[in-house]
Structure 1
Amino acid sequence: MIHRTLPALSPLDPSSTEPFYRQIHGRFRNAIASGVLKPGDRIPSARALMTELGLARGTVEAAYALLSAEGYIQARGQAGTIVTPGLKPRMPVALPEKPSRSASAAAGFRPDSILPFQMGLPALDAFPRKIWARLGARCVRSMQPADMAHPPVQGLPALRAEIAAYLQVSRGIACSASQVFVTSGYRQTMELIAQALLKEGDSVWLEDPGYPPTRELLGQRRITTVPVPVDAEGLQVAQGLKLAPRARAAVVTPAHQSPMCVSLSLPRRQALLDWAARARAWIVEDDYDGEYRYVSRPLPALKSLDREGRVLYAGTFSKLLFPGIRLAYLVVPPSHVARFEQVSEVFAGGSPVLMQAIVTAFITEGHFARHIQRMRKLYAQRREAAMAGLERVLGPHFTIDVPPGGMHLVLRLKARRSDRRLVARLREEGLYAEALSDWALHATVAPALLLGFTNIESQAMAQKLGARILRLL
């Protein structure tokens, strides 16, 4: 419907020499030509559009008459006016400029698609949709007027309490509900941290290779990012001390380093905490999939070792439930709860109460814990199936890392070829992959593909998809 697409139309320009009716004509014509408005879409009545734009009805009718005469729209009486069915674009659509490598890499995190090997997606086929629908219907039926007002910016109190209880049991984090701040995702979590604790010109350690959106987010705020190399024990704290001993913060993924899947060793964890205590710096622990470990029990969170109140713990429901939920959370030290409350009142809009209520019920009734247990078992099976199927087809061309946990595989190319170019070819063929080179800033990394395995249902499926990759080598 037109009300969904109107924001994409350019605003009218009162200073232009072009009359308003011609501007309206041009906006609709461009929207039709670019595909924003499609054949058969209904457009507003002249009366509705004149009210919305604050123009005389005759101005809008003149624009519609011109569009009709050119064949762009048709009047259907009581059914309203629609874009002419079967209409093909009559004007060329300008192609966007080719993005830079960094912009292209950032845009890939994450696409709104479901492709084979797509990273960042849990097993969508295994999600308990019937249970979710039942809880959702119940929450909708029980809605009261108070639930329809503006949502609490720190999060629904019941959900904050459930998250705090869950973290104490599953991740060894002792925290109260007041320390938990519900956000709309990792990006908002980082924005909240940056607003509360960082300022322009501060230095922050980042893992190298590491999650590209983090450096993009901090870079937009003119915060200096310091790439610190990663090895088999995780972040090289000693190198961080050499590069920027007075950094204001460090962002780390201790459970499964993103993207190498190694775990931050205990000596490194202690060294990182010691540095933060001495430097009065902050550690942001991004525990995006710490629950999914297959060789042993999930590792305790770094936050569970924090005795000085220097660790901020960031979690998400995107990997545990599904990305469309748009819910994440941040646990802050008790000493800074008031500061984060102040900042969230200014910069946070709050997440929809209905979705928070459904998640709360999902946790309270035990579905959340059971779902994680099922997914941990399922992902272990799918990891083995994906590795076996890909190894059988791609063994001569790739070395496949065996991760102790996480949700993706690292396929290292044996021949010296561009992982970025191969990823581009895979995307053109409808297969998803990410190039390890796009995750590295200063670190020298061998070319490799990052492939999600959570939606690979069998070894046969992995072999079939591997054969498609093979054809593109």
Structure 2
Amino acid sequence: MLPQANKSWYWSEKNLEFAFILNQFGVPMSRRLKNAQLQTLTLDSDGKVALHQQLFLALRQAILDGRLKPDTRLPSSRSLAADLNISRNTVLSAYDQLTAEGYLVSRIGAGSFVSDQLPDDLLQRKTDGAHPDLRERDIYLSKMAAPFKGKVLRPANRGLPFSPGLPALEVFPFDDWARLLARHWRRPAREYLVDNPIGGTKALREAVASHLGQTRAVRCHADQVIILSGSQQAIHLVVRAFAEPGDAIWMEEPGYPGIRDSILAAGATPVSIPVDEEGFSLALAREIAPDARLACISPSHQYPLGQTMSLARRLDLLKWAKEEGRFILEDDYDSEYRYAGRPLSSLQGLDDDNRVLYVGTMSKVMFSGLRVGYMVVPEDLVDVFLSLRRIIDNHSPAVPEAALADFINEGYLAAHVRRTRLLYEQRQKRLVTLLEDKLGDIVTVTGQESGMHLVAFLPPHIRDTEIERAAAESGMLVRALSGFYNLPTDQTGLILGFAGTREEEMPHLVDKLAAIIRARAK
């Protein structure tokens, strides 16, 4: 009910101010409190927020808006509870919280009053959602942080059709995965609950070492494997380990933006080396930046163009690292999926001088929400990378790692990769056919021998960034190829993931994409 005029607290000048607030509660059944901007807060018995918290927020807002002036006396908890038809304990809880946070003061024998010690700038705060201090100001940022000032992070949205790197989630054996998780959560080993080694669960490190040896010819033992929260964390650690501020670091052009960001975050200088049909060129790299400290490459499946680095160039790069005392970061992000010829050996498997740091991820073969990546480091650098990792987050979650070790050791991962390899090959063929049928006069596209995405090249006059934005508005995630270049380029195109897009959905999706492209090709 609304406050009544015959209540003793209601008649003083200060209490009249509070009466004005209470009169804005409106219809008794809705228990509403309107603020000065005519927005409505509701005390809802069925809401997710507790009634005492709703009342606290409503009264606090009235204080901040200036509708409840300093030194205003609030009604007794019993009176307000009766007026709002709520429990007295609810009002007491709200008052207690307001008092604890300094909005109210309690005076013995007199009641609760709005504090007269609130700063003027707090009382004058605007409530239209705008931040009061969003003004230009000079901020000193380190050389490592300055490159990211004002950078807008794109939302991932990797669950959308054509998302590069999105696996076929609908065929993942979740029943088996759930059973393995339940096995370890039902009776978890004590060491999984108390802590986890910095490098990851021993069982998973052993499983990954065995898996990589069989599938990628990686030469390592379990102690060289470090489990991380993803390949990006591994890239960050490698760059930080070898780059001094200002040092030149080679990366591929076009290349993975995450590598460039990690180089910038280390205060180093990314040096873009254009790739050709044989992949990364050491000769060109030495011409551009002969003193580079590190080479960051994806030799088995260049990202995003898809070339495979020739054997001759691999051996030359390993020779350079050995003779110059340098190191190589090998990003082997999706090489499990090869559709022509025998699986390629890793660069690390050819290394006879421990110069390669191998980086991989489970995001492509399983799902990105798992947040498991790994790196294989030379034996004499294990302690260095464990220490660097500990600075970031100490260790990863143990129980999911134990389940993942079983998933690998009991053959579920290998079986899943075999199934999805056949599925992805078929999906790639279907997408290529549709693109050629619908857009063959505009785009140039060919199937790739490996991976989970392909590139549809566009004529230079079509801006791929516009296509990317329009596709996102239509519920598709395609990446503009030009965004992966650091040097000026006229090359435009679209990076299209096919692995996670159902074949039966592709005709409709390609029709939508074709309409977007043709509208901008005129």
What TM-score comes out, normalization by structure 2 length?
A: 0.72
Among residues 286, 289, 305, which one is paired with 1:241 in the alignment? 286
Letter in 2 for 1:438: G
Match of 1:188 among 215, 218, 233: 233
* Residue 123 to residue 106, structure 1, CA distance change in 2 (3 Å): farther
Residue 345 (structure 2) pairs with residue 339 (structure 1): no
249-258 vs 336-345, which deviates more? 336-345
Q: Is there any run of 5+ residues in structure 2 with no aligned partner, and where?
A: 1-34, 68-83, 92-126, 136-146, 518-522
Distance 1:231 1:93, change over 3 A: same
Q: Which residue of 1 aligns with 2:406?
A: 361
Asked if residue 285 in structure 1 is aligned to residue 346 in structure 2, the reply is: no
> Runs ≥4 in structure 1, deviation > 4 angstroms?
38-41, 44-47, 58-62, 64-70, 74-81, 101-106
**1:285 CA displacement:** 0.2
Q: 1:143 to 1:451 in 2, by over 3 A?
A: same
The Cα offsets for residues 213-268 of structure 1, whole Å up to 9 and x where unpaired, read as 21012112211111001011101111101111221100000111000011001011
Pair 114,346 (structure 1): closer, same or farther in 2 beyond 3 Å:
closer
Amino acid at match of 1:454: A
* Distance across 2 between alignment mates of 1:111 and 1:78: 47
Residue 150 of structure 1: how far off its partner (Å): 3.1
TM-superposed deviation, 1:43 = 3.8
Paired letter, 1:194: V
Hey, what's the Cα distance between the residues in 2 that align with 1:276 and 1:353? 35
- Matched to 2:499, the amino acid is T
Asked if structure 2 preserves the Cα contact closer than 8 Å seen for 1:273 and 1:306, the reply is yes
Change (3 A) 1:137 1:471: same
Kindly indicate whether the alpha-carbon contact (under 8 Å) linking 1:390 and 1:462 is maintained by their aligned counterparts in 2.
no
Measure, in 2, the Cα distance between the counterparts of 1:76 and 1:359: 51
Paired AA for residue 250 in structure 1: A
State the partner residue of 1:258.
303
The partner residue of 1:374 within 411, 419, 422 is: 419
Shift of 1:106: 7.4
Partner letter of residue 220 of structure 1? A
Deviations 1:184-234 (A, max 9, x none): 012211222233333222211000000012101211221111100101110
Query: Residue 466 in 1 paired to residue 510 in 2?
Result: yes
Does structure 1 retain, via aligned residues, the 8 Å contact 2:460–2:491? no
- For residues 215 and 229 of structure 1, the distance between their equivalents in structure 2, rounded to whole angstroms, comes to 14
Alpha carbons 2:164, 2:496 under 8 Å: kept: yes
Amino acid of the residue matched to residue 228 of structure 1? Answer: I
Which stretch shows the higher mean deviation, 435-444 or 318-327? 435-444
Decide whether the 8 Å contact of 1:256 with 1:405 is kept in 2: yes
Alignment CA distance shift 1:421-1:351 (3 Å): same
| 186-195 or 164-173: bigger deviation | 186-195
CA shift digits 1:373-432 (9 cap, x unpaired): 111111111111111122211212211132111111101113621111111111111111
> Structure 1 pair 112/140, CA: closer, same or farther in 2 (3 Å)?
farther
Equivalent of residue 446 in structure 1, options 457, 474, 491: 491
CA contact (8 A) 1:292 1:407 kept: yes
User: Partners of 1:235 and 1:117 in 2: how far apart?
Assistant: 27
2:242 and 2:294 in contact (8 A); partners too: no
TM-score by length of 1: 0.80
Offset of residue 141 of structure 1 = 0.4
Q: Which residue of 2 aligns with 1:42?
A: 48
2:247 counterpart of 1:202 = yes
Deviation, structure 1 residue 68: 13
Establish whether residue 323 from structure 1 lines up as the match of residue 368 from structure 2.
yes
Matched-pair contact (CA < 8 Å) for 2:336–2:417 = yes
Inter-CA distance 105–268: structure 2 relative to 1 (3 Å threshold) = farther
Q: Is contact 2:226–2:374 with CA below 8 Å preserved after alignment?
A: yes
Amino acid at match of 1:107: L
DSSP 3-state at the match of 1:107 = coil
Q: Give the superposition deviation at 1:105.
A: 8.9
**Cα pair distance change 1:265/1:249, threshold 3 Å:** same
2:294 and 2:45 mapped to 1: Cα distance? Answer: 52
Find out whether 1:295 has 2:340 as its counterpart: yes
Conserved in 2, the CA contact under 8 Å of 1:42 and 1:80? Answer: no
Aligned to 2:140: none
- Distance in 2, matches of 1:246 and 1:229, equals 17
Q: Equivalent residue of 2:337, what SS? A: coil
| Secondary structure class of the residue paired with 2:287 | helix
Contact 2:166 2:499 in 1 (8 A): yes
2: CA distance, partners of 1:141 / 1:297: 41
- Distance in 2 (CA, whole Å) between partners of 1:182 and 1:318 is 13
SS in 2 for 1:250: strand
- CA-CA distance at 1:59 after TM superposition: 8.7
Structure number with greater CO (CA < 8 Å, separation at least 6) is 1
Quote the offset at 1:305 in angstroms.
0.4
- The answer to whether the 8 Å contact 2:158/2:166 transfers is no
2:281 counterpart of 1:275: no
Aligned to 2:112: none
1:178 corresponding residue in structure 2:
223
How many pairs does the alignment contain?
412
Describe the shift of the 1:80–1:263 C-alpha distance in structure 2 as closer, same or farther (beyond 3 A).
farther
Gaps of 5+ in 1: 1-28, 50-57, 82-89
When residues 104 and 288 of structure 1 are mapped into structure 2, their CA distance, relative to the original with a 3 A threshold, is farther
The separation in 1 between residues aligned to 2:90 and 2:158, in whole angstroms, is: 33
The 1:141/1:444 distance shift into structure 2, 3 A limit, reads: same
Does the CA-based 8 Å contact 2:299-2:347 persist in structure 1? Answer: yes
Q: Distance in 1 between matches of 2:469 and 2:414?
A: 38
- Partner of residue 214, structure 1: 259
CA contact (8 A) 2:52 2:90 kept: no
Please say if residues 243 and 249 of structure 2, whose CA atoms lie closer than 8 Å, have aligned partners that are also in contact.
no
CA drift at 1:114: 1.3
RMSD across aligned positions (CA): 3.2
CA deviation map 1:315-371 (0-9, x unaligned): 100011100000000000112112222323333432111221121110111101111
2-structure distance, mates of 1:75, 1:137: 47
Provide the C-alpha distance between the structure 2 equivalents of 1:303 and 1:200, rounded to a whole number of angstroms: 27
The alpha carbon displacement at 1:39 in A equals 12
Structure of higher CA gyration radius: 2
The CA deviation at 1:67 is 9.3
Asked whether 1:107 is paired with 2:104, we answer: no
CA 1:75–1:152 in 2, change beyond 3 Å: closer, same or farther?
A: farther
Q: Secondary structure at the match of 1:189?
A: helix
